[in-house]
Amino acid sequence: MSPGLSVNRREFLKTGATGGAALVIGFYLSDVRLADQARDQEKKPPNPFDAWVHIGKDNRVTLILGKSEMGQGVYTALPMILAEELSLDWRKVKVEQAPTNPAIYDHGTGGSGSVAGSWLPLRRAGSAAREMLITAAAQRWNVVRDTCKAQNGGVLHGARKDFLTYGELVEDASKLPIPDFNTVPLKNSDDFAIVGKDTPRLDARAKSSGAAKFGIDSRVPGMLYAVIARCPVFGGKVAKFDATKAKAVPDVREVVQIESVGPGAFTAGGVAVLADNSWAATRGRAALEITWDEGPNANESSDSLRHDCVENASKPGKVVRNDGDADAALASSSKKIEAVYEFPFAPHATMEPMNCTVHIRPDGAEAWVPTQGPQWAQSVIAGVSKLPPEKVVVHTTLMGGGFGRRYQADFVMEAAQVAKAVGKPVMVLWTREDDMQHDFYRPASYHRMWGALDAQGNLAAWKHFQSSTSIAAMWRQNGTEQAENGEFGTAAFIPYKSANYRVEYTLAKSGVPRAWWRSVEHSTSGFVVESFVDELAAAAGVDPLEFRLRLMGDDRKIEDFTNPKEGKPLDTARLKGVLKLAAEKAGWSKPLPKGLGRGIAGYFSFDSYTAVVAEANIMDGKVRVHRLVYAVDCGRPVNPDGVRAQVESAAIYGLSAALHDAITIKGGRVEQSNFGDYEMPRMAETPKTEVHVIMSKEEPTGIGEPGLPVVAPAVCNAIFAATGKRIRRLPVRQEDLA
């Protein structure tokens, strides 16, 4: 094994958070981890009444949200943590988005890490504020501090039954010394009154009335709307253009060319058409006459990529893991199977297309950005405007979906470039076609698997070769060397015991931009591992659930050697726990109506454990999923109904890439353009979904993504159970069902 292999997204977000203007041009993730400014707060904590808890004299409480809300519910779950430690009346709590200030807030939102990563810092911040309020009350009453306690938005002096509201105390409290965040006493979890309770979303009302403001709803006096013509071929550029006809379109005001920006932004460059409204801008763009220089990738296609992968798989790859001697064990085994799994590029397709509004003035800049990384947006705008970052005010707006797409700063870079060029407030708006064709896609990958069983039906060998269009190869300066980083995830430390275990990798070169898609490598790794173990179960003639439990063996903890700094070990007892619970709730051993199949999958990702039982069949030549029964263990669930919502969501997201369309490449460009040729799951296809949440007392772990990796293998295993057809490439093709 080679330890220290992976740079995960959380690490990326932290390095990205502090890269400053270096991000703008020539930024690569380096192996040196930059100082994590947000963590410095542990040395010198900010005043919690400035940073996280605003209490008015009228007792109105506003909690400040440093993370970004993209649907995953941090706007509710994170304030719950603060409110818990402060013993607030939850009904009176309001939430406000934090200003962009990486010195105080750990803004980067992703990697299913918001609740997990904020759990302790927010408990500490809330506790510090509470302790300061208690001290202020004790001083006011001139009583021993220990006789006072926080309760329901105020401080109670037990002996005298006196009560002072926080509003009456906040002025004094905020002037007191700030407790050390590392030693401040935290509430006993047995006393939790908010955390662990189903809590309705605080943003549900605004999102049901049209009042919620997304990035695309930003309106600034005098603003222009811009759309950009980008070369449809990745890596291509403008050779020449004529804007005469575009400028003749009514309401079109300006046409400007912007340069492509490489690593750190990865923009295509192009020609921006600015108008008084979005529609005129799109019409103006259609009237542009552009000759493209298609660049070096014009011959790439999905077929050529697959050809490269097949060729790569015929040769040994770079060894990622090598326990025992898998090849020898395979050679000597009498029961072995081999299979190939394939995945295409996948788009994020957030419902709100990319957009960003920027106003650059000589003395400062202001921006309204639907972003998972506001600190990155700030540094990009600072770089383009040549202003210091503190002069760049970035308002993080609500996001109409993120799923990893809105980590990127490409759309921010474009808006900053156009705003700089015209000196007016500008919204750069992407159309759906722009969004579908200029995404940063989930990598396409090709997996060859070999497995062998011994005479007792135990796993004698597990061998996994992967060739993919690595994310790390794009984002790291030495990417070609470390292309396997992040491409395996749990597939490199499966819970199924095998003395002979080999993992190999070869990079497949591509000009198509790649990045983090919901659940990242786990979306493919989960499918490969949980399908192939199902194939082995069938070869062994053992029930798929029984087989998995048996292969895991005795309870143990398996280190995540791909993420040694932050990854928690895989606890097989917890994985078995969710598998058994899902099976029990689904009635695993009960017979199903004829023609219907049942499949199971269990997986570890983002330090959480998920299992699902799917019931599916084939109707009119298509896979039809009728029921999904999930069990999830994500440590202590802060908002259990929020956990259920995230798992319901991840199931549909996973099914979209498993059952519908692929992003395919021809002539160096994406062939799909809109929801007409890239179909989404709709109401009628939605299976009945149950989510059973384990009420664990372990530290909270991720839940925005872990529901995804298990859904496609469970469904395809159900199709195998129903029909005997093994599905090994996604999305499911009709010919694979025939």
Partner 1 sequence: MAITFTLNGKSQTLPSDVSPEMPLLWVLRDVLNLTGTKFGCGMAFCGACTVHLNGDAIRSCMTPVSSVAGKRVTTIEGLSPDASHPVQRAWIEEDVPQCGYCQSGQIMSATAMLAKKSNPTDADIDEAMSGNICRCGTYQRIRKAIHRAAAMSAAAKKPAA
Binding to partner 1 by residue 686, rule CB under 8 A? yes
The size of the chain, in residues, is 738
502 C-beta neighbours (distance < 10 Å), count: 23
Find, among 162, 202, 293, 298, the residue nearest to 642 by Cα.
202
Instruction: Map residue 356 onto helix, strand or coil.
Output: strand
Nearer to partner 1, 70 or 365 (CB): 70
Nearer to partner 1, 355 or 417 (CB): 355
Q: Calculate ∠ Cα 378-384-385, nearest 5°.
A: 85
Question: Half-sphere exposure (CA, 13 Å, Cβ side) for 516?
Answer: 24
Binding to partner 1 by residue 400, rule CB under 8 A? yes
CA 731 to chain centroid, in Å, comes to: 21
| The one segment of 14-22, 234-242, 606-614, 648-656 that binds partner 1 by CB under 8 A | 648-656
The one among 128, 272, 399, 643 contacting partner 1 by CB under 8 A: 399
The one among 351, 553, 573, 733 contacting partner 1 by CB under 8 A: 351
Return d(Cα 86, Cα 130) in angstroms, integer.
Answer: 5
CA 297 to chain centroid, in Å, comes to: 28
Binding to partner 1 by residue 228, rule CB under 8 A? no
**Shortest Cβ distance from residue 571 to partner 1 (Å)?**
29
Find, among 633, 641, 642, the residue nearest to 607 by Cα.
633
Q: Applying CB under 8 A, what is the total number of residues that bind partner 1? A: 63
Binding to partner 1 by residue 222, rule CB under 8 A? no
Instruction: Map residue 21 onto helix, strand or coil.
Output: helix
The one among 123, 130, 157, 201 contacting partner 1 by CB under 8 A: 201
Our separate counts of H helices and E strands in the chain read 20, 28
Return d(Cα 88, Cα 134) in angstroms, integer.
Answer: 13
Question: Half-sphere exposure (CA, 13 Å, Cβ side) for 315?
Answer: 9
**Shortest Cβ distance from residue 72 to partner 1 (Å)?**
7
Q: Are 391 and 381 in contact (CB under 8 A)?
A: no
Binding to partner 1 by residue 610, rule CB under 8 A? no
The one among 225, 292, 527, 609 contacting partner 1 by CB under 8 A: 225
Binding string, 500-539, against partner 1, x = CB under 8 A? ----------------------------------------
Structure-token pair, residue 244: 């005469």
Instruction: Map residue 308 onto helix, strand or coil.
Output: helix
| The one segment of 481-489, 508-516, 568-576, 679-687 that binds partner 1 by CB under 8 A | 679-687
The one among 11, 85, 168, 217 contacting partner 1 by CB under 8 A: 217
Return d(Cα 272, Cα 356) in angstroms, integer.
Answer: 14
Binding to partner 1 by residue 439, rule CB under 8 A? no
The one among 43, 91, 594, 682 contacting partner 1 by CB under 8 A: 682
Nearer to partner 1, 183 or 209 (CB): 209
Find, among 417, 313, 319, 408, the residue nearest to 365 by Cα.
417
Return d(Cα 214, Cα 354) in angstroms, integer.
Answer: 11
Binding to partner 1 by residue 733, rule CB under 8 A? no
Q: Is 394 left (phi over 0), alpha (psi -120 to 50) or beta?
A: beta
Nearer to partner 1, 129 or 252 (CB): 252
Binding to partner 1 by residue 620, rule CB under 8 A? no
| The one segment of 18-26, 102-110, 128-136, 676-684 that binds partner 1 by CB under 8 A | 676-684
The one among 653, 670, 700, 709 contacting partner 1 by CB under 8 A: 653
The residues pairing with 557 across neighbouring beta strands, listed in sequence order, are 571
Binding to partner 1 by residue 634, rule CB under 8 A? no
**Shortest Cβ distance from residue 279 to partner 1 (Å)?**
4
Q: Are strands 162-165 and 154-157 parallel, antiparallel or unpaired?
A: antiparallel
Nearer to partner 1, 248 or 351 (CB): 351
Restricting to residues 256-315, name those near partner 1 by CB under 8 A. 276-280, 282
b/e map of 211-237 (b: 16 or more CB within 10 Å)?
ebebbbbbebeebbbbbbbbbbbbbbb
Return d(Cα 735, Cα 634) in angstroms, integer.
Answer: 38
Q: Is 638 left (phi over 0), alpha (psi -120 to 50) or beta?
A: alpha
Nearer to partner 1, 200 or 553 (CB): 200
Nearer to partner 1, 20 or 401 (CB): 401
Nearer to partner 1, 186 or 204 (CB): 204
Nearer to partner 1, 57 or 688 (CB): 688
Binding to partner 1 by residue 35, rule CB under 8 A? no
Return d(Cα 420, Cα 406) in angstroms, integer.
Answer: 22
Binding to partner 1 by residue 671, rule CB under 8 A? no
**Shortest Cβ distance from residue 206 to partner 1 (Å)?**
8
**Shortest Cβ distance from residue 656 to partner 1 (Å)?**
8
Binding to partner 1 by residue 214, rule CB under 8 A? yes
Terminal-residue alpha carbon distance, the chain? 41
Instruction: Map residue 105 onto helix, strand or coil.
Output: coil
Return d(Cα 62, Cα 65) in angstroms, integer.
Answer: 10
Restricting to residues 52-111, name those near partner 1 by CB under 8 A. 70-73
Which ranges of 248-370 does DSSP label H, i.e. alpha helix? Answer: 278-286, 302-313, 326-332
Q: Are 653 and 701 in contact (CB under 8 A)?
A: no
Nearer to partner 1, 470 or 689 (CB): 689
Binding to partner 1 by residue 681, rule CB under 8 A? yes
**Shortest Cβ distance from residue 424 to partner 1 (Å)?**
15
The single-letter code of the amino acid at 567 is G
Nearer to partner 1, 454 or 685 (CB): 685
**Shortest Cβ distance from residue 277 to partner 1 (Å)?**
4
Return d(Cα 724, Cα 418) in angstroms, integer.
Answer: 56
The one among 208, 291, 334, 456 contacting partner 1 by CB under 8 A: 208
| The one segment of 128-136, 178-186, 554-562, 683-691 that binds partner 1 by CB under 8 A | 683-691
| CB proximity list for 735: less than 8 A, separation 6 or greater | none
Binding to partner 1 by residue 221, rule CB under 8 A? no
Return d(Cα 526, Cα 713) in angstroms, integer.
Answer: 7
The residues pairing with 438 across neighbouring beta strands, listed in sequence order, are none
Nearer to partner 1, 207 or 391 (CB): 207
Binding to partner 1 by residue 689, rule CB under 8 A? yes
Nearer to partner 1, 150 or 223 (CB): 223
**Shortest Cβ distance from residue 162 to partner 1 (Å)?**
38
Find, among 200, 182, 191, the residue nearest to 85 by Cα.
191
Binding to partner 1 by residue 649, rule CB under 8 A? yes
| The one segment of 164-172, 389-397, 399-407, 489-497 that binds partner 1 by CB under 8 A | 399-407
Binding to partner 1 by residue 398, rule CB under 8 A? yes
The one among 188, 209, 334, 456 contacting partner 1 by CB under 8 A: 209
For tokens 């030549």, the residue is 621
| CB proximity list for 519: less than 8 A, separation 6 or greater | 526, 605, 606, 650, 654, 705, 706, 708, 709
| The one segment of 315-323, 336-344, 568-576, 642-650 that binds partner 1 by CB under 8 A | 642-650
Structure-token pair, residue 217: 């709803």
Binding to partner 1 by residue 245, rule CB under 8 A? no
Nearer to partner 1, 401 or 567 (CB): 401
**Shortest Cβ distance from residue 642 to partner 1 (Å)?**
8
727 C-beta neighbours (distance < 10 Å), count: 23
Contact positions toward partner 1, by CB under 8 A? 70-73, 200-201, 203-214, 216-217, 219, 225, 250-251, 276-280, 282, 349-353, 398-403, 429, 431-432, 641, 645, 648-653, 674-676, 680-684, 686, 688-689
